[in-house]
A and B are shown apart, each in its own frame.
Chain A
């Protein structure tokens, strides 16, 4: 656990000066990357550690985005909105988890998939609070574009740090151990005394709170949210692909996976403008087929040895 925190610290030291060395374009990419790193780590809590295939990340992301947006429109400062978003996400995940975590496997996946749709429809219909389909504009703030880009890079870096720290703590704790036993064999887990319900609900709540926090920061960063944007199913699917790519149920796999996905995305997009989604999909399918435990499972020393021969 100490080693993991050391790696996190080194990562922070490397990333801290970045906003002062690059332009807004690179900062925007970096902020996006940190956002997906956070979402992947959030998904990993329930999907990776406990093995519950949640398709609900978009629900938490969107809920957090709107909680933050509504608070800010009503005069609260950005950071208050973000914390509020995290708390709303936590409460919603606790309530939802207590119900849907009774389901397993496919049934659980489907149940979580529809939640974002339901929230999207409610947000669309509740005009007086959410602005409905017209979306929600954040209050105008006079700010230098580069200063803004720096602030939101650091805000997303904070989200990623919180997510990774939480992941490291869970992985090294009794809770993390309980989640691993649940992933392997839930009935046997309860037989050795694991309180499976409590462990699953806590993991789901952490996942939801982190996802909503990220959504909350996203609102401030983008300045304008609408239901179709923040409840986009891609916010559910991309983190799953990233985690599978990097290594499900590991500490750094989600980080690696998110980075690799976005890098691939960028390279493929530049070279195949017309067909880029198709080619990206193909690359991901191949990677997951041939590396089922993710990029993190590659043994680099052995690979180097082989290529040296």
Chain B
């Protein structure tokens, strides 16, 4: 079997005496789309932060395409093809939408010049449907469009692996459907995705494989159908009501 695209070997992150993430081991293969779920405060975002290096993990056994990245700085990790979106969107507020996306293509997407970066950014704006808003300042966008901007910026980095942190939080159902469609198109480009998501509908639609984090530890890592039946997961996160309904619907 070939080496995994991303491999976590007992990765941890402590804040003072608090173990936010503890002993998480995980492999993601090229081309996969994996859902990461768990209750609030389970350490999902902390785990993604640890992978991308801000702040770095306290136990650093991370390998990306076979190279150790636990000690690398965030900008090096980004340049290797690992991009992320933020749950609380992090645009460059006073720059235009186009400039925001240009930053991604210029510093991690391999664009040789400013002009190249601008072209590459326009392409991503077309892809995400933000092209009509290219010259607006990022601070003037609606939440749904800011989330799209996060995606466009990450895509401009030409990632191999995309870490999506709650891209659907705060969106209404029509917006969620649009976002789902977009994620589907990103997958079709062959980009591997790890997605944190609270909406089970989204996770179950997108992800054949789900991992569950609870109190900073991995309590399940399996096919989606098995994970939602796992008693530990039901107790920690899904609740018995969900299990009953899901069971009734899917047998």
Interface residues of A (CB under 8 A from B): 172-174, 177-178, 180-181, 184-185, 187-196
Q: Is the CB of B75 within 8 A of A194?
A: yes
Interchain Cβ contacts under 8 Å between A and B, 8 examples: A184-B94, A188-B92, A190-B54, A192-B78, A192-B153, A193-B75, A195-B107, A196-B75
Q: Closest chain B residue to A188 by CB distance?
A: B90
Q: Is the CB of B92 within 8 A of A184?
A: yes
Q: Is the CB of B103 within 8 A of A194?
A: yes
Q: Closest chain A residue to B94 by CB distance?
A: A184
A-B residue pair count with CB separations less than 8 angstroms: 68
Question: CB < 8 Å: which of B78, B93, B99 contacts A191?
Answer: B78
User: Which residues does chain B contribute within 8 Å of A177, judged by CB atoms?
Assistant: 99, 102-103, 106, 114
User: Which residues does chain A contribute within 8 Å of B114, judged by CB atoms?
Assistant: 172-174, 177
User: Which residues does chain A contribute within 8 Å of B12, judged by CB atoms?
Assistant: none
By CB atoms of chain B within 10 A, which of A180, A185, A191, A195 has the most?
A191
Number of B residues contacting the other chain (C-beta, 8 Å)?
27
- With A174-B106, A196-B75 as known contacts, state yes or no: A191 contacts B90, CB within 8 Å: yes
Is residue B70 within 8 Å, beta carbon to beta carbon, of the partner chain? no
Question: CB < 8 Å: which of A174, A180, A193 contacts B104?
Answer: A193
Is residue B192 within 8 Å, beta carbon to beta carbon, of the partner chain? no
Q: Is the CB of B94 within 8 A of A188?
A: no
Q: Is the CB of A193 within 8 A of B92?
A: no
Across the A-B interface, give the 8 residue pairs with the lowest CB-CB distance, nearest first. Answer: A193-B108, A193-B107, A184-B92, A193-B78, A188-B90, A190-B74, A192-B104, A192-B103
Q: Is the CB of B92 within 8 A of A191?
A: no
Please, how many angstroms separate the alpha-carbon atoms of A196 and B74 in the complex? 10
Residues in B52-93 with C-beta less than 8 Å from chain A: 52, 54, 73-75, 78-79, 83-84, 86, 90-93
Is residue B171 within 8 Å, beta carbon to beta carbon, of the partner chain? no
Please, how many angstroms separate the alpha-carbon atoms of A174 and B116 in the complex? 12
Q: Closest chain A residue to B84 by CB distance?
A: A191
Is residue B211 within 8 Å, beta carbon to beta carbon, of the partner chain? no
- With A177-B102, A188-B86 as known contacts, state yes or no: A194 contacts B93, CB within 8 Å: no
- Distance from A298 Cβ to chain B, minimum over Cβ atoms (Å): 18
B148-168 vs A, CB cutoff 8 Å, 1 = contact: the mask equals 000001000100000000000
Q: Closest chain A residue to B150 by CB distance?
A: A188
User: Which residues does chain B contribute within 8 Å of A178, judged by CB atoms?
Assistant: 107
Please, how many angstroms separate the alpha-carbon atoms of A230 and B243 in the complex? 75
Please, how many angstroms separate the alpha-carbon atoms of A193 and B156 in the complex? 11
- Distance from A244 Cβ to chain B, minimum over Cβ atoms (Å): 16
- Distance from B52 Cβ to chain A, minimum over Cβ atoms (Å): 7
Q: Closest chain A residue to B156 by CB distance?
A: A192
Q: Is the CB of A194 within 8 A of B92?
A: no
Known: A181-B92, A191-B83. 14 other contacts (CB 8 A): A173-B114, A177-B106, A181-B103, A184-B95, A185-B90, A188-B86, A188-B90, A190-B74, A192-B108, A193-B75, A193-B78, A193-B108, A194-B75, A195-B73
Question: CB < 8 Å: which of B75, B93, B95, B109 contacts A190?
Answer: B75
Q: Is the CB of B93 within 8 A of A184?
A: yes
Question: CB < 8 Å: which of A180, A195, A196 contacts B92?
Answer: A180
User: Which residues does chain B contribute within 8 Å of A181, judged by CB atoms?
Assistant: 92, 95, 103
Please, how many angstroms separate the alpha-carbon atoms of A187 and B74 in the complex? 9
Q: Is the CB of B54 within 8 A of A193?
A: no
Please, how many angstroms separate the alpha-carbon atoms of A194 and B102 in the complex? 12
User: Which residues does chain A contribute within 8 Å of B106, judged by CB atoms?
Assistant: 174, 177
User: Which residues does chain B contribute within 8 Å of A185, judged by CB atoms?
Assistant: 90-93
Q: Is the CB of B107 within 8 A of A192?
A: yes
Q: Is the CB of B94 within 8 A of A192?
A: no
- Distance from A2 Cβ to chain B, minimum over Cβ atoms (Å): 14
User: Which residues does chain A contribute within 8 Å of B157, judged by CB atoms?
Assistant: 192-193
Please, how many angstroms separate the alpha-carbon atoms of A192 and B126 in the complex? 20
- Distance from B180 Cβ to chain A, minimum over Cβ atoms (Å): 24
Please, how many angstroms separate the alpha-carbon atoms of A195 and B107 in the complex? 8
Q: Is the CB of A190 within 8 A of B92?
A: no
Please, how many angstroms separate the alpha-carbon atoms of A217 and B109 in the complex? 43
Please, how many angstroms separate the alpha-carbon atoms of A193 and B99 in the complex? 14
